[in-house]
Structure 1
Amino acid sequence: MTDLQIKGLVKAYGPEAAVLDGLDLTVPGGALAAVLGPSGCGKTTMLRIVAGFLRPDAGSVAVGGRVLSGPGAHIAPERRRVGIVPQEGALFPHLSVARNVAYGLSGVDRTARRARVEKMLELVGLAGYGERMPHELSGGQQQRIALARALAPEPQLVLLDEPFNALDSALRAGVRDDVRAALRATGATAVLVTHDQQEALSTADLVAVVRDGRIAQCGTPEDVYHRPADPWVAGFVGDAVLVSGTADAAGAATAATALGRVPLAAAPAGPREGLVLLRPEQLRLTDAAPGETCGTVTDVRFYGHDAMATVTVEGLDAPVDVRVPGPVPVRPGGRTGIQVTGEATWHPAVVSPRACG
């Protein structure tokens, strides 16, 4: 297993077009890291630098202690032992599946090459597909063949550039699970670039959120979701309920908000005025009883496995979303009570919730 270390990466496409601005990222050996961020934040540029297709203006990239890019050093892409799974597979249309998988196995004798191809096809669940042509495969099968091709030369690092984008939602989850299982079976370190928050949270061991060419936060999916570094990260990695609050006396892990008094994960150490972060699943719809926090339902969105109710509450500038694990008990226009469950995250700066989405 080999780790990936990116230090101080800088890349600009002109005097006023800085894309990466001192990006740092460490991925432990054998881990799958998802690099998540909005369009234009620099995640694809980072991937291209790690692959060797671009030279950075500053900073370094090393895998297993071997410097691939840095001051006075730039190893060619084909010598980096880095496998790449591009969008939509990008298989060679004139080559069979077996020849596609074997493409990177130069210098390997025919018997060993055939055995390696068979092993890779079995690993991705497509044993016996070697004689087929790419156009005879489904989109999901093509992506798995692309992964087999990337893994065949036994790379130290595998880069996946939004490989599930072209798949429909029903197919995407299954292919994603197959890819993750294959990567873990080989022990390869991997980096998945995506703009899909749910994909990053459900697939990766680590999630790195990129903002303006830097890592805004890197941690386990649970840490990034439940303990976001700031309101922007909170709103980017999932649905967020952000309300202004006033922390109680020093040392107390509670805050007063328009939703009532809310328990905090930790007592605030700074100013008492700030922002309280909750997730929609931490809110419950209740009977609109006197003395409780109440609001009016303005919208209901049904997703099958759950539903989201939007509720306006007096004292809040913006409505709040409440995730309901079943039929919503009230319809738009109805009155409802709201109850907070669990602990909230506190952010000391007072930021308008509307600016954090």
Structure 2
Amino acid sequence: MNDLRIERLTKSYGPGAPVLQGLDLTVPGGALAAVLGPSGCGKTTLLRIVAGFLRADTGTVTVGGRTLVGPGVQLPPERRRVGIVPQEGALFPHLSVARNVAFGLTGLDRAERRRRTEEMLELVGLAGYGDRMPHELSGGQQQRIALARALAPRPELVLLDEPFNALDSALRAGVRADVRTALRATGATAVLVTHDQQEALSSADVVAVVREGRVAQCATPQDLYRLPADPWIAGFVGDAVLLPGTVGNGGATATTPLGPVTLAAPPGGRRTGTVVIRPEQLRLADTDTADAVRGTVTDVCFYGHDAMVSVAVDGMDAPVDVRVAGPLPIGPGEETGVRVTGEATLHA
């Protein structure tokens, strides 16, 4: 399998301007990994080094055991067997769809090029579009053609550089699903660079959160969301409620302003810390419910499929957010009870 292994990768753009600071990342063969992080964390620099467009200062990059970057090794981009899907498709405007897809199919006879092109167009759901020009396609269709062009030469690795940014939200989810299906059909290892948390969690097999030039945590989407390594990661990959907590009950629970909270992992000798839970783990309840704390609603944000209700409670400097599905039972200024469900994580 074409595992991607990146070890101790560093890159600076001048004295005092480090971008990558010993980054390590492993992507299993055939998996789609999302590299997620804020602007300036090094995501695009990482992608350009793997593609061969930028030279690393130190470190190694291998795909399927083949060294692309390392001491004394710097393979040119055309020898790396890496496909790239850039932002906004970047199709050649003067070439037809079929000629765009076939662009990288060098060394094949005409019949084989045509067969491979038709195979790729069918894979991305655009069979019969070969004679069209790029300007005749929608944004989502252009992105699928860009993927077909990247997959046509059978690359060992596919790099996707925030490819859905230019699409509206209604179209983005459908194109994302089509791209994921096509990647799985070919078995290609892929890396998706994005700053969109929802995109990373819903699309990838593993998610690597990059912070200040290093991978702060790499895990499956479920584990990353449920067991974040620290409060910053918890807040970056989704909405989080941070509570001061004191460990009790032999380390099984933490006492918080919202009452006792079950811990998902042993506290490791820690007696106090920050308890992280998700807004959907909180429930509104009657004020006289036994396991609920009393609070006052300060704000309600309605999103259609659900709403976020902010509740001020004693012991908290800021209101806590409660995600509520269905009809809103309460409004600003009203009193309510809040109780906690599920498990939480404790951090220093």
Tell me the TM-score normalized by structure 2.
0.98
Question: 1:248-287 alignment to 2 at 5 Å?
Answer: 248-249=248-249, 251-287=250-286
Q: Distance in 2 between matches of 1:87 and 1:178?
A: 16
CA apart distance, 1:267 = 2.9
Letter in 1 for 2:294: C
Q: What do the CA deviations read for 1:153-205 (whole angstroms, capped 9, x no partner)?
A: 00000000000000000000000000000000000000000000010000000
1:135 alignment counterpart: 135
Letter in 2 for 1:107: G
1:149 alignment counterpart: 149
Q: Distance in 2 between matches of 1:320 and 1:116?
A: 55
Q: What do the CA deviations read for 1:285-310 (whole angstroms, capped 9, x no partner)?
A: 11112763011111111111111111
1:58 alignment counterpart: 58
Q: Distance in 2 between matches of 1:15 and 1:294?
A: 54
Q: What do the CA deviations read for 1:279-335 (whole angstroms, capped 9, x no partner)?
A: 000000111127630111111111111111111111111211111011221111111
Question: 1:119-130 alignment to 2 at 5 Å?
Answer: 119-130=119-130
Q: What do the CA deviations read for 1:64-121 (whole angstroms, capped 9, x no partner)?
A: 0110011100000011000000000000000000000000001110000000000000
Give 3-state SS (helix, strand or coil) of 1:244's partner: strand
1:93 alignment counterpart: 93
Q: Distance in 1 between matches of 2:118 and 2:168?
A: 28
Q: Distance in 1 between matches of 2:305 and 2:140?
A: 24
1:104 alignment counterpart: 104
Q: What do the CA deviations read for 1:133-154 (whole angstroms, capped 9, x no partner)?
A: 0000000000000000000000
1:354 alignment counterpart: none
Question: 1:1-357 alignment to 2 at 5 Å?
Answer: 1-249=1-249, 251-289=250-288, 292-347=292-347, 349=348
Q: Distance in 2 between matches of 1:252 and 1:215?
A: 29
Tell me the matched-pair count: 347
Letter in 2 for 1:343: E
Give 3-state SS (helix, strand or coil) of 1:344's partner: strand
Q: Distance in 1 between matches of 2:132 and 2:9?
A: 42
- Decide whether the 8 Å contact of 2:289 with 2:337 is kept in 1: no
Q: What do the CA deviations read for 1:185-236 (whole angstroms, capped 9, x no partner)?
A: 0000000000000100000000000000000000100110000011111110
Detail structure 1 runs of 4+ shifted over 3 Å in the superposition: none
Distance of aligned partners of 1:290 and 1:169 in 2 relative to their CA distance in 1, 3 Å threshold: closer
Tell me the TM-score normalized by structure 1.
0.96
Percent identity, please. 76
Letter in 1 for 2:271: R
- Decide whether the 8 Å contact of 2:35 with 2:210 is kept in 1: yes
Bigger Cα displacement from structure 2, 68-77 vs 318-327? 318-327
Q: Distance in 2 between matches of 1:239 and 1:270?
A: 27
- Decide whether the 8 Å contact of 1:254 with 1:267 is kept in 2: no
Give 3-state SS (helix, strand or coil) of 2:328's partner: coil
Q: Distance in 2 between matches of 1:50 and 1:12?
A: 15
Gaps of 5+ in 1: 350-357
Q: Distance in 2 between matches of 1:28 and 1:224?
A: 17
Letter in 2 for 1:211: R
Bigger Cα displacement from structure 2, 267-276 vs 163-172? 267-276
Q: What do the CA deviations read for 1:246-284 (whole angstroms, capped 9, x no partner)?
A: 0004x3310111001111112312221111110000000
CA apart distance, 1:346 = 1.2
